[in-house]
Chains A and B, each alone.
Chain A
Amino acid sequence: MNPALLDRYIAAVLRYRWLVVAAATLVMLAMAAGGRFITVSNDHRILFGEDNPQLAAYDALEDTYTSSNTALIAVSPRQGNVFTRETLGVIERMTEEAWQAPYSSRVDSLTNYSHSEALGDDLIVGPLVEDAASLSDADLDRIEEIANDSIELVGRMLAEDGRVAGLAINFIPPRETHDASVVELNAYLDEMMARARAESPEIDFHITGDIVMQRAFAQATQDDLERLTPIVFFLIVAVAYLILRSISGALSMVVMILFSVGTAMGLAGWNQTVFSPVNAGVPIIVMAITVAQSVHITTMTLTAMRRGLDRMEAVAESVRVNAFPVFLASLTTVIGFLSLNASDSPPFHTLGNYVAFGVACTFVYSMSLLPALLSILPLRVKPSYAGEVTFFDRFGEFVVARRKPLLWLTTIPTLLLLAGIFRIELNDSLPNYFDERYEFRRDSDYIIENLTGLESQEYSLASPGEGGITNPEYLRQIDAFAEWCRSQPEVTYVRVFSDTMKRLNKNMHEDDPAYYRLPEDQALATQYLLLYELSLPFGMDLNDRIDISKSSTRMSVVMRDITSNEQQLLAERARGWLAENAPGLTTEATGLSVIVSHITERNIKSMLRGTVIAMALISLVLVVVFKSLRFGLLSLIPNFIPAGMSFGLWGYLVGRVGIAASVVTVVAFGIIVDDTIHFLTKYLKIRREGRSAADAVRYAFSTVGKALGTTTAVLSAGFLVFAASGFEVSWALGILVAMTIMFAFLADFLLLPPLLMAFDRRKL
Chain B
Amino acid sequence: MNREPSRARTFHASARINLMLALAGLVSSPALAQDPSPEEIGLAIAYEAAARNDGFGNFTANLTMVLRNRQGQESRRQIRFKVLEVEDDGDKSLFVFDQPRDVQGTALLTHGHLTAQDDQWLYLPALKRVKRISSSTRTGSFMGSEFSYEDMSNPEVEKYTYRYLREEPCGDLICTVNEQVPVDTKSSYSRQLVWQDKEHLRTWLVHYYDRKNSHLKTLVFAGYRQYLDRYWRAGEMTMENHLTGKSTVLNWTDLEFGTDLGDGDFSQAALRRVR
**Which residue numbers of A lie inside 8 Å of B, CB to CB?**
60, 62-64, 66-67, 99-105, 119, 121-126, 172, 466-467, 470, 508, 521-528, 530-531, 533-543, 546-550
Contact = CB atoms under 8 A, between A and B. Distances in A.
Nearest to A62: B70
Most buried by B among A66, A121, A530: A530
Nearest to A522: B102
30 contacts: A63-B69, A64-B71, A64-B73, A67-B244, A99-B212, A101-B212, A121-B130, A123-B133, A124-B134, A125-B135, A466-B100, A523-B104, A523-B125, A524-B126, A527-B127, A530-B97, A533-B140, A534-B135, A534-B138, A534-B142, A535-B134, A535-B140, A536-B141, A537-B135, A538-B137, A539-B140, A542-B144, A547-B69, A548-B67, A548-B246
A-B interface, 8 closest residue pairs, ranked by CB to CB distance from nearest: A538-B188, A526-B102, A549-B75, A538-B139, A524-B126, A63-B70, A541-B141, A536-B140
A467 B75 CA distance: 10
Contact of A540 (B102, B140, B244): B140
B103 A103 contact: no
Nearest to B70: A63
B192 to A, nearest CB: 14
Contact of A534 (B100, B130, B133): B133
B122 A534 contact: yes
Contacts of A525: 102
B134 A125 contact: yes
A122 B73 contact: no
B106 A543 contact: no
A523 B102 contact: yes
Nearest to A123: B131
Contacts, number: 146
A649 B159 CA distance: 73
A538 to B, nearest CB: 3
Contacts of B125: 523, 527
Contacts of B134: 119, 122-126, 535
B273 interface: no
Nearest to B140: A536
Interface string B197-224: 0000000000000011010000000000
Interface string B69-97: 11101110000000000000000000001
B33 interface: no
B69 A531 contact: no
Given A104-B212, A172-B244, A531-B133, A60 B71 contact: yes
B166 interface: no
Interface in B92-149: 97, 100-104, 106, 108, 120, 122, 124-127, 129-144, 148-149
B133 A535 contact: yes
Contact of A102 (B120, B141, B143, B214): B214
A67 B70 contact: yes
Contacts of A530: 97, 103, 106, 122, 143
Given A99-B212, A121-B130, A538-B188, A548 B102 contact: no
Nearest to B136: A126
B3 interface: no
A124 B131 CA distance: 10
B98 to A, nearest CB: 13
B243 interface: yes
Contacts of B139: 537-538
B124 A541 contact: no
A681 to B, nearest CB: 60
A550 B74 CA distance: 11
Given A105-B243, A121-B130, A530-B122, A548 B135 contact: no
Nearest to B211: A99
B68 interface: yes
A98 to B, nearest CB: 10
Nearest to B149: A534
Contacts of A124: 134
B103 A533 contact: no
Contact of B144 (A64, A104, A119, A533): A533
B144 A543 contact: yes
A121 B140 contact: no
B274 to A, nearest CB: 13
Given A64-B69, A467-B102, A508 B127 contact: yes
Contact of B148 (A102, A467, A524, A538): A538
B102 A470 contact: yes
A125 B73 CA distance: 30
A733 to B, nearest CB: 36
Most buried by A among B67, B100, B102: B102
A88 to B, nearest CB: 20
A701 to B, nearest CB: 66
Nearest to A61: B71
Given A123-B134, A467-B100, A527-B124, A533 B143 contact: yes
Given A63-B69, A99-B212, A523-B126, A531 B75 contact: no
Given A537-B137, A549-B74, 7 more contacts: A63-B245, A64-B73, A121-B132, A126-B134, A521-B126, A523-B125, A531-B133
A537 B140 contact: yes
Most buried by B among A62, A66, A119, A543: A543
Contacts of A102: 212, 214
